[in-house]
Amino acid sequence: NAGVTQTPKFQVLKTGQSMTLQCAQDMNHNSMYWYRQDPGMGLRLIYYSASEGTTDKGEVPNGYNVSRLNKREFSLRLESAAPSQTSVYFCASVPGSRNTQYFGPGTRLTVL
């Protein structure tokens, strides 16, 4: 099993560009999450999907959209990137709501 995979690992964007971060898990998990990690801060939840077909906002959703494409895949889209979105982005999944989350390796995004 590959676990949770994220692409790309690194990305540099210019202000105003758009891009989609991809996340996939092969563990048949129901719930998936997107977090961002800024220097000196813990991870903060952007969006989550408790089950296939549902998505909900987390703590910091502004400037982002998500799509739960199927049970395996959960993508995060930046429609018009801003320097404030420079961060490391983590995807996570969990089999059920009270289980331990498994994290992907992260994507380091820089917006110039």
Partner 1 sequence: AQTVTQSQPEMSVQEAETVTLSCTYDTSENNYYLFWYKQPPSRQMILVIRQEAYKQQNATENRFSVNFQKAAKSFSLKISDSQLGDTAMYFCAFMEGSGNTGKLIFGQGTTLQVKP
Q: Which residues bind partner 1 (CB under 8 A)?
A: 31, 33, 35, 40-45, 48, 50, 56, 58, 88, 90, 92, 94, 96-101, 103, 105-106, 108
1 vs 97, beta carbon nearer partner 1: 97
Give the angle 14-24-93 at the CA atoms, nearest 5°. 105
Q: State the minimum distance, in angstroms, from the CB of residue 92 to partner 1.
A: 8
40 vs 53, beta carbon nearer partner 1: 40
Give yes or no for a cis peptide into 8 (omega within 30° of 0): yes
Q: In the 8-state DSSP scheme, what is residue 99?
A: S
36 vs 81, beta carbon nearer partner 1: 36
16 vs 105, beta carbon nearer partner 1: 105
Q: State the minimum distance, in angstroms, from the CB of residue 52 to partner 1.
A: 14
Q: State the minimum distance, in angstroms, from the CB of residue 16 to partner 1.
A: 27
Residue 21 contacts residue 35 (beta carbons within 8 Å):
no
DSSP state letters, 45-88:
EEEEESSTT--EE-S--TTEEEEE-SSSBEEEEESS--GGG-EE
